[in-house]
Amino acid sequence: GKTWKTYIPGKIAFDSEVATLAGKTGIAFATIDDARMMTDTPFDAINRMNINKNGNLHKQVKTMASILIQALRDPLMPTSAKVGNFYCNLYGDVVEYDARESALPSKAVPEPIITLRRKHKTMAGARGDLIIRGDNKGQFEVVGLAMEGRATNRMGGAQEIEPYVLDRNSGDIVYAPDLGNYGAKVYNNKVPIDRRQRGCRVVVFPCVSTTIYDLVDQRSLRTLRELQIYDAGTDSFPEKYGLSKPIQQQGVSATEPIALVYSEPDKRIKIGMSYGQIGKRLLLIKAGRSGTKNPTLYTGEGFVVGENGSIRVTPYVVIRDMWWLDENRNRLYKKFGISSDRLDQLHQFANERLDQARDTLLKRDYSQALKLARAAWGFESRAYPDVKKTGNDVVSGVMF
């Protein structure tokens, strides 16, 4: 026989899940064979609902009322669910690190907005993510989370807690989760919900946000998932930083190609992204012609983020940085008679399309500019590993 899931396409959320999660009886009524194709689109409007007397909604309500009355009067109707009570509560507070007050983060951040992202962003119109507002002491409580390993399985076995504070006038993010040395490395913001009552402390920091788009590897056409943030002065992780990127939803192959980077105001940072073992595929380092004695040590100047903003034509900025990084290193190799025809050809192809993309941007032909920038990115991302490999081969040849 077929299970009930056969008749309901896609993921769906029921109010009865709250009762069954607590070990109580829950009854769900759902329309079968309804994919809800208009949900989350501009076409999901009230005028598309058939509310006439003999319409779908009228017939369903009559049927449901009859079934519900009979079910409640049935003496053989089960009165208790044969499941355990896996209803959990999460409570905690949001703080920031202030060295003048304490050696550990303890300064309360009032009225934070806490986000708990879950496996499914939307379930036939019902939002999967939870959003809670803390009080003026930064304290919050989330009631009714499913117990890990019993009622659900979260990514990594823990729930990531993301508090934010928004500017009252502009709506900009002014505080974000701190993943640095005095943030998540002291108080981890990924908490396992493995008991009825679970407490936590989450650290945030004053920040500005940078949005980057079109995070797709132009060779494999995969969305880049691993994101790294570096301090431009030391090429190491900043003391305070954060990031937001889409999670891989269960049963959904696509991932949104967008990410937000949080940094301290007026700090100089660099950004890199990769996918698994294929290495770096995206660099945002503000590279130019190297003036250093050894271009192999040159990794860009980094860019200063003074206010909330975005890198709108991300592919163009990425390819420009990657091209200059390879150009500086390739020039050094050629001074010592080291060259590769294949590398030079790929590098030249990328340069031609990069110049064309710049010209079309000046003409405000953005769709064509993005097309050319992506093509250049594809060529240069193939040349970049060759440049690195050439440098490694030189070192190996000298040493061995």
Q: Does 293 share its domain with 251?
A: yes
Q: What is the pLDDT of residues 330-382, one digit of tens each?
A: 888 888 888 888 889 999 999 999 999 999 999 999 999 999 999 999 999 88
Q: Is 274 a member of any domain?
A: yes
Residue 348 lies in a domain: yes
Q: What is the CATH number of the domain that holds 153?
A: 2.60.40
pLDDT of amino acid 171:
92
Give residue 106's pLDDT band: very low, low, confident or very high (50, 70, 90): very high
Q: Indicate if 199 and 216 belong to the same structural domain.
A: no
Cβ contacts of 289 within 8 Å, gap of 6 or more: 324, 327, 328
Q: How many CB atoms lie within 10 A of CB 233?
A: 11
- Integer Cα distance of 33 and 55 in angstroms: 17
Q: What pLDDT was estimated at residue 54?
A: 85
Give a yes or no: residue 78 inside a domain. Answer: no
Mean pLDDT lowest among 125-134, 160-169, 175-184: 125-134
| Span 151-174, average pLDDT | 92
Co-location of 218 and 355 in the same domain: yes
**In which domain, by residue range, is 395 found?**
211-399
- Percentage with pLDDT > 70 across the chain: 94
| 250-281 tens-digit pLDDT | 767 678 899 999 999 999 999 999 887 777 88
Q: Are residues 201 and 302 in the same domain?
A: no
Given this model, what pLDDT does residue 111 score? Answer: 96
pLDDT of residue 122: 84
pLDDT the model gives residue 77: 77
Let me know whether 229 and 164 are in one domain: no
Distances (CA, A) of 387 to 69, 190, 300, 302, 393: 74, 38, 16, 21, 10
Q: Considering 161, 185, 206, which residue would you say is the last residue of a domain?
A: 206
Task: In whole angstroms, give the CA distance from residue 101 to residue 104.
Answer: 9
- Number of domains, the chain: 3
> Does residue 79 lie in a domain region?
no
* 387 and 259 fall within a common domain: yes
Is residue 80 situated within a structural domain? no
pLDDT confidence tier of residue 91, bands split at 50, 70 and 90: very high
Q: What is the pLDDT of residue 3?
A: 84
Same domain for 228 and 180: no
Considering 28, 47, 73, which residue would you say is the last residue of a domain? 73
pLDDT at 52 over 90: no
* Residue 297 DSSP code: G
Q: Is residue 344 part of a domain?
A: yes
Q: H or E segment at 198? A: strand 197-206
Q: Within this chain, do residues 66 and 94 fall inside the same structural domain, yes or no?
A: no
Give the count of beta carbons closer than 10 Å to the beta carbon of residue 182.
19
Calculate mean pLDDT across residues 141-165. 91
In a domain, 175, yes or no: yes
Residues 6+ apart with CB under 8 A from 335: none
The residue ranking higher by pLDDT, 45 or 396, is 45
At residue 211, φ and ψ (nearest 5 deg) are: -100, 130
Q: Is the pLDDT of residue 399 over 50?
A: no
Asked if the structure places residue 58 within a domain, the reply is yes
Average pLDDT, the chain: 88
